Amino acid sequence: MSEVVESTEPSSVEFGRRAAARAETRLLIDGALVSATGDATYENLSPATGLILGVAAAASVQDMDRAIGAARRAFDDTDWSTNRALRKRCLEQFQAAIESEKEELREELVAEVGCPVMSTNDAQLDWPLAQSLRYPASLIDDFEWERVLDGGGLFGPRNVRTVFKEPAGVVAAITPSNYPIEVILNKLGPALAAGNTVVLKPDPNTPWNAARLGRLIAEKTDFPAGVVNVVTTPDNEVAGILATDPRVDLISFTGSTAVGRHLMREGASTMKRTFLELGGKSALIVLDDADPAKVAMSAVGSCAHAGQACAVNSRVLVHQSLFDEVVANVTAAYTAIPVGDPALPGTFVGPLISAAQKKRVLDVLDRARAEGAEFRTGGGEYADLPDHLRNGHFVAPTVVTGVDNSAAIAQQEIFGPVVILLPFTDDDDAVRIANDSAFGLAGAVASSSAERGMSVARRIRTGSVGVNGGMFYGADAPFGGYKNSGVGRQCGLEGFEQYLETKTIGCRVPKTDG
């Protein structure tokens, strides 16, 4: 049984009260903070307690239409797309504005996302805040916005050819609930630095952090009206307008593969460009020369934010000579993972985002049980909780063996605190199993030899790999997947260029004397 964290520190109930008192419940449309049509709202629920935290604006079709129109006008009728100095100043102001409310935002994330407060020290808040706006802002000065091609090509030296990089236009940024600030900033930063205008539609389960950013933009920056619009809504019909409206040029989406496919189909009617960062079923490969004692620490990372991360290594592939030892170590580690109130500093695993997600995870575990899977620890709902968490969405950290890679639990993205351990015979077998997946987002390799680890990593068909604990994450590092894990890359130069169009102009210059 995993350890339950209890403390006299402020709990999720208190975090929720404070977050509700400070929550922004308006939309940002055309530079103004406005209520949704008819003052419509919907309930924002706490994942940890199941209680109502407060409300968020429930935008209508009319509200979304206004937001798209504002973004279109701001792109077409202002100098935002060409005024690089203004773009840099606004992003610097935005950075300072977020930092001025960083601690309030931290509590708000814990309250509505259900992420453990310790995770806000890294990927939930501090890491993206350190780089995700600053890096693309630096590209405004450093990026090669235009280049002259050598010579004149087929038409001689008087034919001067210049390649220009220009913003794509209006970007629909659609973001998930699991790491909302991380994803939002890594979309807004490059999209805005590149000169686009944006309609941001956050996940309905986590609206407040996005609405807060909207307020900060309206109150503390010089962004022209309409450059950034923030529209919260629980209505899929309203959100779907972003995929079909011809005024939107590009869809930037992070979320499930199923929704990504839907957006791609819907956007095809107006030939929208799409950037899709989707699901994963990543594998940690433990080679026969790896240190088994270190593997358990790596495997625990699959429980980060209760496993609600697309890049976690939810499969652990272990050389058969180490398999029993690694299984024992990982099981012991998972049994000891601190589970409980995300507001407490010692909690590592908090709740899933919703009752629906909890049911989905439990259904996957029930199917695996029926198919003969062995649960070394966990395997169901986590019930040993304090009274204030009884209605929260907790699943026990779970270690699964006894299946092969063809099992549904080894192929599906679970988005819960579940890891599957699978044996392999040699390096070729490990690579085969790792690549036997519809996904191709991330992965990892453990070996006493960095050279051997790198060799295996190069053979894994995924967008990112960590070797011996190496971290690929960063605003300057492209992130995205092969196969069903997506189209395009987030972050880095590749991510910046997702938001740009390319124009080539050939100009015949006059013949000079002599």
Reading the block at residue 9, the tokens are 């520190």
Give the fold, CATH level 3, of 26-278+489-501: Aldehyde Dehydrogenase; Chain A, domain 1 (3.40.605)
pLDDT in tens, 133-161: 999 999 999 999 999 998 777 888 889 99
Distance in angstroms (rounded) separating the CA atoms of residues 343 and 109: 10
Reading the block at residue 370, the tokens are 């029926």
Reading the block at residue 62, the tokens are 């009319």
DSSP secondary structure letter of residue 504: E
Distance in angstroms (rounded) separating the CA atoms of residues 359 and 197: 38
Instruction: List Cβ neighbours of 428 (8 Å cut-off, separation of 6 or more).
Output: none
| Farthest-apart Cα atoms in the chain, separation | 91
HSE (side-chain half, CA atoms, 13 Å) at 397: 27
Taking each helix axis as running N to C, give the angle between helix 180-193 and helix 208-220, from 0 to 180 degrees, rounded to the nearest 10. Answer: 40
The confidence score (pLDDT) of residue 155 equals 84
Set 24, 107, 108, 277: catalytic member: 277
pLDDT in tens, 75-129: 999 999 999 999 999 999 999 999 999 999 999 999 999 999 999 999 999 999 9
Has residue 2 got a pLDDT over 70? no
Report whether 439 contacts 311 (CB < 8 A): no
Instruction: List Cβ neighbours of 463 (8 Å cut-off, separation of 6 or more).
Output: 440, 441, 442, 478, 479, 480, 481, 482, 485, 486, 489
The confidence score (pLDDT) of residue 47 equals 98
Distance in angstroms (rounded) separating the CA atoms of residues 254 and 401: 30
Has residue 394 got a pLDDT over 60? yes
Q: Which of 152-156, 162-166, 356-360, 419-423 has the lowest mean pLDDT?
A: 152-156
CATH architecture, domain defined by 283-474: 3-Layer(aba) Sandwich (3.40)
Q: Is 507 annotated in the active site?
A: no
Work out the burial of residue 483: count CB atoms within 10 Å of its CB; fewer than 13 is exposed, 13-18 middle, 19 or more buried.
Answer: middle
Q: Which of 198, 462, 453 is nearest to 310 (CA)?
A: 462
Stated pTM of the model: 0.96
The confidence score (pLDDT) of residue 105 equals 98
pLDDT in tens, 266-321: 999 999 999 999 999 999 999 999 999 899 989 999 999 999 999 999 999 999 99
Q: Is 277 annotated in the active site?
A: yes
Has residue 25 got a pLDDT over 80? yes
Domain regions of the chain by residue span: 26-278+489-501, 283-474
Set 90, 310, 491, 497: catalytic member: 310
What are the DSSP calls for 131-150, one per residue? Answer: HTTHHHHHHHHHS--EEEPS
pLDDT in tens, 432-489: 999 999 999 999 999 999 999 999 999 999 999 999 999 999 999 999 999 999 999 9
Q: Catalogue the E-assigned strands of 371-453.
A: 374-377, 398-401, 418-424, 439-440, 443-446
